[in-house]
Amino acid sequence: MGDVQARMEAALARLLPATHAVPGRLHESMRYAVLEGGKRVRPLLCFAAGELTGAARERLEVAGAAVELIHAYSLVHDDMPCMDDDILRRGKPTVHVEFDQATALLAGDALQSLAFQLLSESRLADSPAAQLEMVKALAVASGSRGMAGGQAIDLASTGKPLTLPELEFMHVHKTGALIRAAVVLGARCGATLDAAGAESLDRYAKCVGLAFQVVDDVLDCDASTATLGKTAGKDAIQGKATYVSVMGIARAKEFAEELRVQAHAALAGFGERAGRLAQLADFIVLRKF
Ligand code: GRG
């Protein structure tokens, strides 16, 4: 993980616009939002899926960066006063606090555009058609049928009780879609999987995407602000339905463990090539931050 995280930090620093380029303040805010922080879970998944298909690391750096830029944009916008209104992210003041709201809005917009620029300006897959599929996969995962849609449902349901299927629908879109896209993009950088392989990998991605959110909900009430680098305990204060509020903390922990087991089972046919994906399922479920 440390090796991939260090590679990703260098790649992101290289691929983001320099602060001396005009408009400097916008570029500074983009770099502030992305660099020196975050677990880089999505690029890690991208690299691990690429390992399964024998993808070149240079391609995975760019694909992983594209997914991470979308993730960073979503955090910048989510933290703004019109959404979650938070002042702390990755242990630092949020972008609208450090800069201002208009800059935060533009930084998010520009990060999203840069993600698609990266996906389209260099060769990342063996055929143009496969690369176009990557662009589409990230667009769908980020848009109204994916992350932005999940966020809209989240905002509309704050303070309302949700059933378990409604909660799952929200999180499969808000958090799960981008995690799934990270896996698809990483795999696409290498050799094409057969239909059964692609289906197994997608089953794995769905399990870890959902597990990620279940654990996020557990940590929101189990861990401290200092450990998380973001404000802990907010879900309960804001009256948000979470896996903890709907099923209780003990059952939520059990559910995360069930998803971890299912994720491992989905990888069974791949053998050792899927070792890193299996380790990441463990990390996502057993993490403490
Ligand atoms: C604004 C379109 C738009 C979407 C926002 C992802 C999201 C949707 C909001 C973030 C709010 C949140 C806490 C979601 C729960 C799961 C999540 C994405 C946590 C943060 O991701 P990590 O833990 O963060 O991977 P780091 O900082 O490690 O990258």
- pLDDT digits 0-9 by tens, 128-180: 999 999 999 999 999 999 999 999 999 999 888 899 999 999 999 999 999 99
Give the pLDDT confidence score for residue 228 in this predicted structure.
66
Ligand 1, from 44, 76, 77, 78: best to mutate by most atoms within 8 Å of Cβ? 78
Domain ranges, ordered by start, for the chain = 2-286
- How far is Cα 17 from Cα 107, in angstroms, rounded to an integer? 11
pLDDT given for residue 223 in this prediction? 67
User: Which residue's CA is the nearest one to ligand 1's atom 18?
Assistant: 175
CA of 14 to the centre of ligand 1 (A): 23
Cis-peptide, bond into residue 43, ω within 30° of zero: no
pLDDT tens digits, one per residue of 214-268: 999 999 888 677 776 777 667 777 778 899 989 999 999 999 999 999 999 999 9
- How far the first Cα of the chain sits from its last, in Å, is 15
pLDDT at 282: 97
Q: How many residues does the chain have?
A: 289
pLDDT digits (tens, 9 = 90+) for 33-57: 999 989 999 999 999 999 999 999 9
CA of 71 to the centre of ligand 1 (A): 7
Per the structure block, which two tokens stand in for 225?
């602000």
The CATH number corresponding to 2-286 among 1.25.40.390, 1.10.600.10, 3.40.50.1970, 3.40.50.1360 equals: 1.10.600.10
Instruction: Return the ligand 1 atom nearest residue 148 CA.
Output: 2
Shortest-distance atom of ligand 1 to CA 174: 8
Q: Compute the distance from residue 277 Cα to the ligand 1 centre, in Å.
A: 21
Q: Take atom 24 of ligand 1 and give the residue whose Cα is closest.
A: 38
288 pLDDT tier (thresholds 50, 70, 90) = confident
76 CB neighbour count, 10 Å cutoff: 28
Q: Are 211 and 219 in contact (CB under 8 A)?
A: no
* Ligand 1 neighbours by CB, cut-off 6 Å: 38-39, 41, 71, 74-75, 77-78, 90, 147-148, 151, 174-175, 213, 216
Paired with 89 in beta bridges are 92
